[in-house]
Chain A
């Protein structure tokens, strides 16, 4: 998969809620694989979400991805959709 810069620093978006896991600073986030994003933080940065409490991330180079689940009805493993 081609490394692609995202328009917004959003790590995951909710389908049924419109909620999103988003970095509050102006950070470049790249989609590098189907379930891997990359970003670098120069300073402490908040990861926010409308439902979950904020996580303060330290400076550093990071990757992110979404949890996996198995759906026996569809007989498939997939990223958790929320």
Chain B
């Protein structure tokens, strides 16, 4: 195995240009599980945790190397809430938002936040930088659009982020748990509501009909809230696995959606 431990983005991109298929190592919290338990043996590794540019956290821009620990104490309320639920303190000190994007798991904790905002993902190579919307980046279960030679450099939030935002994640125990269902909701002053759910589809799911319906309700009644929940339940497409059942996930999606909205009214 060959490893490079660059101290600048430029160095990293140059290394990546020579080895476009190199394994990118930030916090290691996903990759090292593969190494330890699934026999992953990367031939080339580029370690990213010394690169200051990737750790910038400023306004709209969240560097891919920003750890959950920093996000826990950051300015975006829902992002801070979800960050607190990631793994454990040990995991949060090492795990990065870039890693969450790179792994692109259906249960990735940060992904519903980015999806509900229609955030963008910035990728850089030695030759160019490009930006794409989250659902152009995350395209399937653990599948993303990063090309060989590219590195995720940042998540970019929209200029306007509604102040009223909330996150919730269901798990069977109180820490270190992969979500059964998770959700992140934003409600703007004019009633525009977006919500994204995790663990209920191959990629974070935006229930558009539900969003449209509740965005039109300036002061939703109990009936409207129930209808919102019902539509969310209809639009998610969860599976049954060893963690939970399709039926429970579908039902719980609606409950979470309604509760998040209630928090934001």
Q: Tell whether A pairs with B.
A: no
- Listed in ascending order, the chain B residues whose CB lies under 8 Å from chain A are none
- Listed in ascending order, the chain A residues whose CB lies under 8 Å from chain B are none
